[in-house]
Amino acid sequence: MIAELLADARSWRDQDPDATTKAELDDLVSATEAGDPVAEAALADRFSARLEFGTAGLRGELGAGPRRMNRVLVTQAAAGLAAYLLGRESNPSIVIGYDGRRNSEVFARDTATIMAGAGVTTTLLPRHLPTPVLAFAVRHLDASAGVMVTASHNPANDNGYKVYLGRDDHGSQIVPPEDGLIASAIDLVSTVSIVDLPRSTDFIVADDTVLDEYVRRTATLGHCATPVSFVYSAMHGVGWETAELVFAAAGFGTPAVVAEQIEPDATFPTVAFPNPEEPGAMDLTLAKAAEVGADLAIVNDPDADRLAVAVPGRDGEWRRLSGNEVGYLLGWRAAERAVAGGATQGGTLAASIVSSPALRAIAADYGLGYEDTLTGFKWISRAENLIYGFEEALGYLVDPQIVRDKDGISAAIDFLSLASELKAAGRTIDDHFDSFADRFGAYASSQISLRFSDLTQISGTMTRLRSQLPSQIGTIAVSSVDDFVAGFEHYPAGDILRIHLVGGARVIVRPSGTEPKLKVYIDASSTEGTAAERRAAAEAVVAELDAGMRTLLEA
């Protein structure tokens, strides 16, 4: 077995154009030959499987071997995707973007040369730009497909490869069965050395026309009723250049910025994880907002497809709004726009099943359609007659005609517009939450996120829950459980448990699709009493369910 492992490693090394990962393999091979068990285990881990190509494309840790993100793996993925596109269309085209992470530009250029070498008409965006600009470009350029090299908000040593399909798929991310077809094409390519793959530099490097059009169209979503003072952080990512242009074009001027996080930095030096949801990630932003006395604080994640918002509360303390809170406030705006534009017939609001049920209540109130989807914008973006979609993980799709994916910049413009309109009327975001609770009910939510180093612990926990389904959580009785493992109703199969509680609350448990985490989503609502009483009642139920689930998971 060791001989076979060493042969696989040498074969991979011999086709690797990257000096860093080539040296990594040389060191591991030499140490394994010398009998080092640690090196042997590390080598075996890299060659125990391939990094799986799925509905998020590829995402994983940088390093050598087929179970890591590297130039060999990306080249194989590009060649497989090219073969898939050529089997789908006679003259396919693709647009490629990349963020500021380590090797992102290298992976993007490798993809471009492989695509052009295979005969696919190829456009490479001119520099690192946000994921929403790439998603926009797929539709704007009428491309057959798009690739964005990004690991979004993952740890610093990760990178990824997100695939979009154009034309009839309208620039949405890939879903089954296309992901499986692409994976099969990649498997075929991986049997030959990437040295033998045809390459060409005959591809287009786009000018700023695509970016300019994205900025123009996104800015039209804005309405600056009165000036708003706000702070912006790019979380060491690529959002600032584009966001600054959009803010100015929409009439909101230039925000105060978190200087330590405004420029791209692949090491993400000021945060443990470059994800605005993580504890402490927004500390610098909130400190800056307090310092300048801002009305609002806005943070994009590193590829700017997510948005985090913080506001000063009535007690003067800054607080980050949850993804659900931002999501249903923007959903309310979308419903208002739909009614004003006469688009209620057939218009659909959509959210992932783990997101707040508040959006369903909005849709019912306005006579709009509503659709629950599986998690991920690959599903939300495909809702029929979609006019707005969101998921609780800070993702919002505010205008499907511009981008068919979550977009943290257009969402920022929409939320700035809300803050501006409220300020012009002498009201605050907290006042608006009161109005929401009065009209639709108060909605509360919480999330438990457990990170694991051993992925088998995640599947083991899910198996244990299925075998020992609770009859109550805390003191609240369980009324029914939906298990998605073999498919449920119109949903495809998924590793998801949805627990319904007496009184209408719910708990959903599932593994994360992009990180080694087990996630628990808890939601409750109330329509009894004043806005404050409704909030208190919903929050009490959520608190009890949160404590009860932690006890169950620790058992």
**Is 178 part of a structural domain of the chain?**
yes
* CATH number of the domain within which 537 lies: 3.30.310.50
Please write the tens of the pLDDT for every residue from 469-505: 999 999 999 999 999 998 888 888 889 999 999 999 9
Question: Using omega within 30 degrees of 0 as the cis cutoff, is the peptide bond preceding 279 cis?
Answer: no
- Residue ranges making up the domain that contains 276: 228-440
- Residues 6 or more apart from 345 whose CB is under 8 A from it? none
**Is 215 part of a structural domain of the chain?**
no
Q: Are residues 27 and 168 in the same domain?
A: no
Q: Are residues 453 and 346 in the same domain?
A: no
**Is 214 part of a structural domain of the chain?**
no
Q: Are residues 183 and 310 in the same domain?
A: no
**Is 220 part of a structural domain of the chain?**
no
Q: How many other CB atoms sit within 10 Å of the CB of residue 282?
A: 24
Per-residue confidence at 215, pLDDT binned at 50, 70, 90?
very high
Q: Please report how the helices 239-249 and 209-219 are oriented relative to each other, as an axis angle in degrees rounded to 10.
A: 50
**Is 143 part of a structural domain of the chain?**
yes
Please write the tens of the pLDDT for every residue from 369-379: 999 999 899 99
What residues does 389 pair with on adjacent strands? 350, 397
What's the rounded Cα separation, in Å, for the pair 470 and 481? 9
Q: Please report how the helices 37-47 and 19-33 are oriented relative to each other, as an axis angle in degrees rounded to 10.
A: 130
Q: Which of 412, 440, 468 is the last residue of a domain?
A: 440
Q: Which of 440, 469, 485 is the last residue of a domain?
A: 440
Please write the tens of the pLDDT for every residue from 240-283: 999 999 999 999 999 999 999 999 999 999 999 999 999 899 99
Output 468-473 pairs: Cβ under 8 A, ≥24 positions apart: 469/499, 470/499, 470/552, 472/548, 473/499, 473/501, 473/507, 473/544, 473/545, 473/548, 473/549, 473/552
Q: Are residues 266 and 392 in the same domain?
A: yes
What's the rounded Cα separation, in Å, for the pair 146 and 144? 7
Residue 221 DSSP label: T
Going through 355-400 in order, the beta strands assigned E by DSSP cover 369-373, 386-391, 395-397
Please write the tens of the pLDDT for every residue from 507-536: 999 998 767 889 999 999 999 999 999 999
How far is it between the farthest Cα atoms of the chain?
74
Per-residue confidence at 343, pLDDT binned at 50, 70, 90?
low
Please write the tens of the pLDDT for every residue from 9-42: 999 999 999 999 999 999 999 999 999 999 999 9
**Is 494 part of a structural domain of the chain?**
yes
**Is 431 part of a structural domain of the chain?**
yes
Mean pLDDT, residues 201-205: 98
What's the rounded Cα separation, in Å, for the pair 316 and 537? 24
Alpha helices in 399-506 (DSSP H): 408-424, 429-440, 456-467
Mean pLDDT, the chain, whole residue set: 95
Residue 514 is predicted with a pLDDT of 66
Please write the tens of the pLDDT for every residue from 284-338: 999 999 999 999 999 999 999 999 999 998 888 999 999 999 999 999 999 999 9
Q: Are residues 391 and 326 in the same domain?
A: yes
Residue 213 is predicted with a pLDDT of 98
Q: What are phi and psi of 95, to 5 degrees?
A: -120, 140
Q: Are residues 462 and 544 in the same domain?
A: yes
Q: Are residues 232 and 376 in the same domain?
A: yes
What's the rounded Cα separation, in Å, for the pair 85 and 166? 11
Closest to 289 in 3D by CA, of 236, 241, 224, 232: 232
Q: Are residues 233 and 382 in the same domain?
A: yes
Q: Are residues 241 and 372 in the same domain?
A: yes
Per-residue confidence at 457, pLDDT binned at 50, 70, 90?
confident
**Is 159 part of a structural domain of the chain?**
yes
Catalytic residue among 93, 144, 152, 381: 152
pTM score: 0.95
Please write the tens of the pLDDT for every residue from 137-180: 999 999 999 999 999 999 999 999 999 999 999 999 999 999 99
Q: Are residues 372 and 249 in the same domain?
A: yes
- Classify residue 529 as left (phi > 0), alpha (psi -120 to 50) or beta: left
Q: Are residues 530 and 431 in the same domain?
A: no
What is the number of domains present in the chain? 4
Residue 364 CB-half CA count within 13 A: 8
Residue 53 DSSP label: P
What's the rounded Cα separation, in Å, for the pair 433 and 131? 30
What's the rounded Cα separation, in Å, for the pair 169 and 24? 40
Q: Are residues 202 and 326 in the same domain?
A: no
pLDDT of residue 88 exceeding 90: yes
* CATH number of the domain within which 427 lies: 3.40.120.10
Let me know if 30 is a catalytic residue.
Answer: no
Residue 487 is predicted with a pLDDT of 87
Per-residue confidence at 345, pLDDT binned at 50, 70, 90?
low
Contact 142, 167 (CB under 8 A): yes
pLDDT of residue 344 exceeding 80: no
